[in-house]
């Protein structure tokens, strides 16, 4: 069959779609880049906020017309939302034919050809790490490599542990082989993925040791990882980051809130003082490191004063970028059952304040790069002009500079001559 896959949510899902592609191609199916050519349409979905789910439901309903013109078309629901409510959605006859959960992707070829004998497979498999699969990378420049699956942290607002199951690490040798192979295919910028990469372990190999091994792979130029949990970010990780040439000067370290009572209610297991000391240590050990974060506005029972604490930490730390989210209650999580839910309009107004503050901070940060020499890994033509190319700096900022097709996939030294709140203009 010709299959098309549309991916929502985090990079973990992007990487899973690359695995799914590999599984289906090995079974003789063909990936197509246009939905019009597909007989099998797959949605790899996200459940992290209500909005993520609503978007997919809208997409599924929009594509139903295709089944009228071609009754052979099948629609499959995969990923976190499939895991959470896929069975219910299948029964509600909204036009889904197959539902496969996050540990069941090896079964997809059988599900597709079985003619509806087993349309739903959602069992968790606590050992599932998809051994011996070669992901089909979507990009020719930047690659994602999953190093662990699942999460054990149960932050009180978060659905991820409920839909992705318990944490497990992939064998370090498989990770090493994947990174090397990606490098051989020309992908120079590799991001390691896990919900909490700091708790990676395979026997004696912990995360800092894994990074040391991967740093020795000649075929790659840059190494990154997401996401780090502040409670587990060790001194030995900071040491390895500062001494390994390929590990980029960037860390994504979700803060979630700047107030200790809220952090406690979120079950984050650190204080804001701990968070600040980790960031300061990183900044000291790795000069120029960019720090990005995630923050939630309007967690249940958050007062105005507690929200102000978050704004003041944002000022103090001046993150290079912050992904700001409005708290979204997720059924089955502890926070969804808390009695003091913050009214929607207050959540929204707090979100807007955070976004506005961060926009100013990001603008100042980007402007402060003017005059600096940066390394740009050119990934594509710029969106605005064919005489410009675009890529990322080591510290994860988008940069544009004049260039041609032959520059794509190469590393360029450039000087920053101008900046907006999202792009460095380089020469």
332 binds ligand SF4 (CB under 6 A): no
Tell me if 100 sits within 8 A of 78, measured CB to CB.
Answer: yes
Q: With respect to ligand SAH, which residue has the nearer C-beta, 121 or 147?
A: 147
Among 3, 4, 5, 13, binds ligand F3S (CB under 6 A): 13
Q: How many residues belong to the site for ligand F3S (CB under 6 A)?
A: 13
Does residue 275 interact with ligand SAH by CB under 6 A?
Answer: no
Residues numbered 251-290 forming contacts with ligand F3S, rule: CB under 6 A: none
Nearer to ligand F3S, 47 or 382 (CB): 47
DSSP one-letter string for 317-357: H--SEEEEEE----TTSTGGG-S-PPPHHHHHHHHHHHHHH
Q: Minimum distance from CB of 51 to ligand SF4 (Å)?
A: 17
Q: With CB cut-offs between 5 and 8 Å by kind, which of ligand SAH, ligand SF4, ligand F3S, none does residue 47 bind?
A: ligand F3S
- 49 touches, from ligand SAH, ligand SF4, ligand F3S, none (C-beta below 5 to 8 Å by class): ligand SAH
Residues 153-172 interacting with ligand F3S (rule: CB under 6 A): 159-160, 163-164
Cα Rg of the chain, angstroms:
22
146 binds, among ligand SF4, ligand SAH, ligand F3S, none (CB under 5 to 8 A by kind): none
Select the residue interacting with ligand F3S from 17, 21, 22, 47 (CB under 6 A). 47
Least separation in angstroms between CB 233 and ligand SF4? 12
Residues 99-158 that bind ligand SF4 (CB under 6 A): 151, 153-155, 158
- Torsion sign across C-alpha atoms 146, 182, 228, 42: negative
| Angstrom distance (rounded) from CA 189 to CA 303 | 42
Non-local CB neighbours of 204 within 8 Å, separated by 6+ positions: none
Half-sphere exposure in the Cβ direction for 335 (13 Å, CA): 25
**Residue 381 and residue 400: Cα distance in Å, rounded?**
9
Q: Which positions from 219 to 258 touch ligand F3S by CB under 6 A, shown as an x/- string?
A: ----------------------------------------
Least separation in angstroms between CB 232 and ligand SF4? 9
Q: Does residue 227 have a cis bond before it (omega within 30 degrees)?
A: yes
Question: Quick check: 85 binds ligand F3S (CB under 6 A)?
Answer: no
3-state SS class at 404: coil
Query: Please, which residues have CB within 8 angstroms of residue 71's CB and are 6 or more apart in sequence?
Result: none
Report the C-alpha gap between 137 and 142 in whole angstroms. Answer: 9
Q: Which is nearer to ligand SAH, 98 or 263 (CB)?
A: 263
Secondary structure of 261-317 in the HEC alphabet?
A: HHHHHCCCCCCHHHHHHHHHHHHHHCCCCEEEEEEEECCCCCCHHHHHHHHHHHHHH
Output the residue with the shortest Cβ distance to ligand F3S. 9
Backbone CA torsion sign across 277, 278, 279, 280: positive
Instruction: State the minimum distance, in angstroms, from the CB of residue 276 to ligand SF4.
Output: 19
Q: What are phi and psi of 207, to 5 degrees?
A: -65, -45
Residues 174-203, mask of contacts with ligand SF4 (x by CB under 6 A) = ---------------------xx-------
Strand partners, 251: 291
From ligand F3S, ligand SAH, ligand SF4, none, interface partner of 161 (C-beta below 5 to 8 A by class): ligand SF4
Give every strand in the sheet of 2-7, ordered side by side: 30-31, 2-7, 40-45, 74-78, 98-100, 120-121
Judged by CB under 6 A, the stretch of 41-49, 69-77, 109-117, 344-352 that binds ligand F3S is 41-49
Footprint on this chain of ligand F3S (rule: CB under 6 A): 9-10, 12-13, 46-48, 79-80, 159-160, 163-164
Residues lying near ligand SF4 in the complex (CB under 6 A) are found at 151, 153-155, 158, 160-161, 195-196, 229
């Amino acid at each position: 069959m010709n299959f098309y896959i549309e991916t929502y949510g985090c990079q973990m899902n992007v990487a899973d779609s690359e695995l799914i592609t590999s599984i289906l191609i090995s079974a003789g199916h063909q990936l197509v880049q246009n939905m019009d050519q597909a007989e099998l349409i797959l949605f790899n979905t996200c459940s992290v906020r209500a909005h993520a789910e609503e978007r997919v439901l809208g997409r599924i309903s929009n594509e139903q017309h295709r089944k009228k013109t071609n009754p052979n078309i099948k629609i499959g629901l995969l990923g976190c939302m499939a895991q959470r409510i896929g069975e219910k959605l299948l029964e509600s006859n909204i036009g889904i034919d197959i539902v496969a959960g996050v540990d069941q992707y090896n079964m997809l070829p059988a599900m597709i050809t079985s003619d509806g004998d087993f349309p739903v497979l959602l069992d968790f498999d606590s050992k599932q790490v998809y051994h011996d699969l070669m992901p089909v990378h979507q990009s020719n420049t930047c690659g994602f490599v999953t190093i662990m699956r699942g999460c054990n942290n149960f932050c009180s607002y978060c659905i991820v542990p409920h839909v992705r199951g318990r944490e497990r690490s992939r064998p370090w040798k498989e990770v090493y082989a994947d990174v090397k192979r990606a490098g051989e295919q020309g992908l120079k910028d590799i991001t390691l993925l896990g919900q909490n990469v700091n708790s990676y372990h395979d026997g004696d190999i912990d995360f800092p040791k894994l990074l040391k091994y991967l740093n020795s792979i000649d075929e790659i130029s840059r190494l990154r990882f997401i996401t780090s949990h502040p409670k587990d970010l060790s001194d030995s990780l900071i040491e390895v980051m500062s001494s390994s040439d390929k590990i980029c000067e960037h860390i994504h370290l979700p803060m979630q809130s700047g107030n200790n009572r809220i952090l406690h209610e979120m079950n984050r297991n650190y204080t804001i003082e701990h968070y600040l000391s980790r960031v300061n240590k990183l900044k000291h050990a790795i000069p120029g490191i960019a720090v990005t974060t995630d923050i939630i506005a309007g967690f249940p029972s958050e007062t105005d004063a507690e929200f102000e604490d978050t704004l003041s930490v944002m000022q103090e730390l001046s993150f290079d970028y912050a992904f700001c989210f409005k708290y979204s209650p997720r059924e089955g999580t502890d926070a969804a059952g808390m009695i003091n839910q913050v009214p929607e309009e207050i959540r929204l107004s707090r979100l807007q304040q955070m976004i506005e503050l961060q926009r100013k901070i990001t603008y100042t940060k980007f402007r402060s790069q003017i005059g600096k020499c940066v390394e740009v890994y050119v990934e594509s033509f710029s969106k605005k002009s064919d005489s410009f190319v675009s890529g990322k700096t080591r510290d994860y900022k988008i940069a544009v500079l004049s260039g041609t097709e032959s520059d794509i996939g190469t590393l360029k030294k450039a000087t920053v001559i101008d900046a907006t709140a999202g792009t460095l203009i380089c020469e």
